[in-house]
C-alpha cells in the first residue's frame, strides 16, 4: 500500500517580525530591527485566554504555541477528523525557562513556601503540546521533541510518520521557544554563541554568532486525500524528512558537515527524489562561524556548486532555537505561495573561504516553486531536514 501524501492545510506564526502568517511573510522581506535579540513585540496573550489568571499560568513559550495553533486551525477551516486521531507534536529547546528562572529567584529571596505550585507544569518542555491538546480535545499522540535547535523540524518529521503509518489522520506540528531571560542570555553569551556585534550575518565573512530570538510556528498536517475530500486549501506538501546525529561534539558540528550530508540525502530519498530535483534550501544558517562553514560544505557535497537557491531567514528572525525549524518550514510554504524567496538579510560579503553557494541576497528572488529543503542542526549533534513541495 502506498503511504498517503501529507498536506499542509494551515499554519500559524508568532514571530519577532510578525504575528500571523501574512505579517510574518511581510517581515521576512523587511530589514530587521537593530538589537542583540529578537523579541515578539508588544505581546498580548489575552486574545487566546479566557482571563488574565489563565494566561499567567502559562509560560510564554506555551502562550506562543497556543496562539500559533489557533491561527493554524483557523486557516485549516474545519479540520474534519476524529479528535482521538489528531496528534499534537510541538518541540522546544529549553521549554519554560522564564518560569523556571523566576521561581528559582523567588525561592532564593522568599523561601520554599513562596514557590508557585504551577512551577513544574509551566516549566516542563511538554507543556505547550499538552496545552494545545487539552484546549481542543485532541487525543492522539501528544509529544514534545526536545532536540535543541532541531526540535521544530524533528516534530514535523515525526508528524509525517504518524500520518503515513495511519496512526493519525491529522497532526498539529511545530515548535515554540521563549528563551530571552537574563540567565539564558548570560549562558549563551558566555559560551560565545551570541553575536558580539548584535547582527545576524549568515554566511558572511564577518559573522560572529547568532542573534537569539523567540517565537512559535504550528502547521496543520493531514492526508492530501482528506484535505481534498473536504475542499480544504492545500498550502504545500511535506514529501519526506530525516534525522541523524553527528556523534561528534556537544556544540560544534561534525567536520565537513558529515551528519548534515547524511540527513539531507536521507530526507531527499525519503521523498523519493534526487538531489537534482531540489531547487531551494532554507538553510539553518545561524551566523556562527562553525555552523555556517559546516552547512556550506554539506550543501556543496550534496548538490555541487553553486547548487539550489539558498537563503537563511535568520537574518531577519534571529535564531529561535527549538522553534526555528517550524518558523523556517512556514517560511518555505509562504515562499511557495508568494512565488518569492526571501533574501538573507545581513549577508553583504559572502565568505570567500566557504564553498560557492547560490545565496539569495539583496532582495527577494522570484522563482517557480519546486521541491525544497528546510534544514535544522542543534547542539548535541542533532540534524533534521524536511522536504517541502508546492501544492500544485
In the chain, domain spans: 6-390
Q: Are strands 236-245 and 382-390 parallel, antiparallel or unpaired?
A: antiparallel
Tell me what the mean pLDDT of segment 234-262 comes to: 94
Identify the band that residue 251 occupies on the pLDDT scale cut at 50, 70 and 90: confident
- What is d(CA 286, CA 206) in angstroms, rounded to the nearest whole number? 13
* Superfamily for domain range 6-390: Thiolase/Chalcone synthase (3.40.47.10)
Tell me what the mean pLDDT of segment 187-205 comes to: 95
Active site residue 149: yes
Nearest residue to 12 via CA among 172, 209, 250, 185? 172
Identify the band that residue 34 occupies on the pLDDT scale cut at 50, 70 and 90: confident
What tens digit of pLDDT does each residue of 212-247 get? Answer: 999 999 999 999 999 999 999 999 999 999 999 999
Active site residue 284: yes
3-state secondary structure of 127: helix
- What is d(CA 24, CA 19) in angstroms, rounded to the nearest whole number? 6
Identify the band that residue 296 occupies on the pLDDT scale cut at 50, 70 and 90: very high
Tell me what the mean pLDDT of segment 377-390 comes to: 96
Residue tagged active-site, from 280, 284, 338, 382: 284
Residue tagged active-site, from 149, 154, 263, 280: 149
- Percent of the chain exceeding pLDDT 70 equals 100
Residue 146 to residues 10, 32, 131, Cα–Cα distance (Å): 23, 28, 16
Active site residue 108: no
What tens digit of pLDDT does each residue of 351-363 get? Answer: 999 999 999 999 9
What tens digit of pLDDT does each residue of 93-139 get? Answer: 999 999 999 999 999 999 999 999 999 999 999 999 999 999 999 99
Average pLDDT along the chain: 96
Those residues with Cβ within 8 angstroms of residue 194's Cβ, 6 or more apart along the chain or in another chain: 36, 185, 188, 209, 210, 211, 212
Tell me what the mean pLDDT of segment 184-204 comes to: 95
pLDDT at 255: 85
- What is d(CA 200, CA 144) in angstroms, rounded to the nearest whole number? 28
pLDDT at 35: 84
Task: Give yes or no for residue 267 having a pLDDT over 70.
Answer: yes
- What is d(CA 346, CA 264) in angstroms, rounded to the nearest whole number? 25
Tell me what the mean pLDDT of segment 298-319 comes to: 97
Residue tagged active-site, from 142, 154, 263, 319: 319
pLDDT at 1: 63
Tell me what the mean pLDDT of segment 146-161 comes to: 98
Task: Give yes or no for residue 36 having a pLDDT over 90.
Answer: no
Tell me what the mean pLDDT of segment 204-210 comes to: 97
Amino acid at each position: 500500500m502506498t503511504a498517503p501524501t501529507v498536506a499542509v492545510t494551515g499554519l500559524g506564526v508568532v514571530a519577532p517580525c510578525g504575528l500571523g502568517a501574512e505579517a510574518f511573510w511581510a517581515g521576512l522581506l523587511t530589514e530587521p530591527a537593530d538589537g542583540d535579540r529578537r523579541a515578539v513585540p508588544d505581546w498580548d496573550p489575552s486574545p487566546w485566554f479566557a482571563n488574565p489568571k489563565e494566561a499567567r499560568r502559562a509560560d510564554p513559550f506555551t502562550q506562543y504555541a497556543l496562539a500559533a495553533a489557533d491561527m493554524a486551525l483557523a486557516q485549516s477551516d474545519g479540520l474534519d477528523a476524529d479528535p482521538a486521531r489528531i496528534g499534537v507534536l510541538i518541540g522546544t529547546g529549553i521549554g519554560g525557562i522564564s518560569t523556571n528562572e523566576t521561581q528559582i529567584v523567588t525561592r532564593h529571596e522568599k523561601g520554599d513556601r513562596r514557590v508557585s505550585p504551577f512551577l513544574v507544569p509551566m516549566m516542563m518542555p511538554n507543556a505547550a503540546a499538552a496545552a494545545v491538546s487539552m484546549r481542543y480535545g485532541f487525543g492522539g499522540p501528544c509529544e514534545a521533541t526536545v532536540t535543541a535547535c532541531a526540535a521544530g523540524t524533528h516534530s514535523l518529521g515525526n508528524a509525517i510518520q504518524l500520518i503515513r503509518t495511519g496512526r493519525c489522520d491529522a497532526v498539529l506540528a511545530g515548535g515554540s521557544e521563549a528563551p530571552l531571560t537574563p540567565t539564558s542570555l548570560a549562558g549563551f553569551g558566555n559560551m560565545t554563541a551570541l553575536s558580539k556585534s548584535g547582527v545576524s550575518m549568515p554566511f558572511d565573512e564577518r559573522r560572529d554568532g547568532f542573534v537569539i530570538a523567540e517565537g512559535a510556528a504550528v502547521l496543520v498536517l493531514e492526508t492530501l486525500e482528506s484535505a481534498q475530500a473536504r475542499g480544504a486549501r492545500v498550502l504545500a506538501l511535506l514529501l519526506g524528512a530525516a534525522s541523524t546525529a553527528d556523534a561528534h561534539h556537544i556544540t560544534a558540528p561534525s567536520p565537513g558537515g558529515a551528519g548534515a550530508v547524511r540527513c539531507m540525502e536521507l530526507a531527499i530519498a525519503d521523498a523519493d527524489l534526487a538531489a537534482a530535483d531540489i531547487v531551494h534550501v532554507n538553510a539553518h544558517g545561524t551566523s556562527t562561524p562553525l555552523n555556517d562553514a559546516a552547512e556550506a560544505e554539506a550543501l556543496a557535497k550534496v548538490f555541487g556548486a553553486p547548487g539550489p537557491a539558498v537563503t537563511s531567514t535568520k537574518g531577519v528572525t534571529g535564531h529561535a532555537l527549538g522553534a526555528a525549524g517550524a518558523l523556517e518550514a512556514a517560511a518555505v510554504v509562504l515562499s511557495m505561495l508568494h512565488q518569492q524567496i526571501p533574501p538573507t538579510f545581513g549577508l553583504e560579503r559572502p565568505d570567500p573561504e566557504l564553498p560557492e553557494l547560490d545565496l539569495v541576497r539583496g532582495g527577494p528572488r522570484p522563482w517557480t516553486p519546486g521541491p525544497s529543503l528546510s534544514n535544522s542542526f542543534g547542539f548535541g549533534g542533532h540534524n533534521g531536514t524536511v522536504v517541502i513541495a508546492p501544492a500544485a
